[in-house]
């Protein structure tokens, strides 16, 4: 899935162990989908998306106060 030209490449430069699932999640977040919409699209529980977002923030080295959506939109 390609949201913006080189968004996935930029993300791969931030973290070495980025998976296809993480790229897909960040693409959905960048498309401004909320947690419930992402969960419905992927046919999973919202708790799974919340945990994935938490792990993504941790993986990117973001603190608790940093807004993940705003960070991804700066890439």
10 Cβ partners below 8 Å, 6+ apart? Answer: 75
pLDDT > 80? residue 61: yes
Task: Report yes or no: 42 and 49 within 8 Å, Cβ to Cβ.
Answer: yes
pLDDT > 70? residue 19: yes
Q: Quote the pLDDT of residue 74.
A: 79
Task: Report yes or no: 49 and 25 within 8 Å, Cβ to Cβ.
Answer: yes
The Cα 54–Cα 51 span in angstroms is: 5
Residue 1's pLDDT band, with cuts at 50, 70 and 90, is: very low
pLDDT > 70? residue 5: no
The Cα 67–Cα 69 span in angstroms is: 6
Domains of the chain from N-terminus onward: 18-73 (1.10.10)
Q: Quote the pLDDT of residue 71.
A: 85
CB atoms within 10 A of CB 36: 10
User: pTM of the prediction?
Assistant: 0.74
């Amino acid at each position: 899935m390609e949201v913006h030209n080189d968004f996935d490449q930029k993300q791969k430069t931030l973290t070495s162990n980025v998976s296809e699932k993480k790229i897909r999640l960040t693409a959905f977040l960048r498309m401004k989908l909320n947690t419930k919409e992402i969960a419905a699209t992927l046919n999973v529980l919202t708790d799974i998306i919340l945990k994935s977002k938490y792990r993504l923030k941790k993986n990117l080295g973001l603190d608790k106060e940093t807004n993940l959506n705003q960070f991804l939109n700066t890439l």
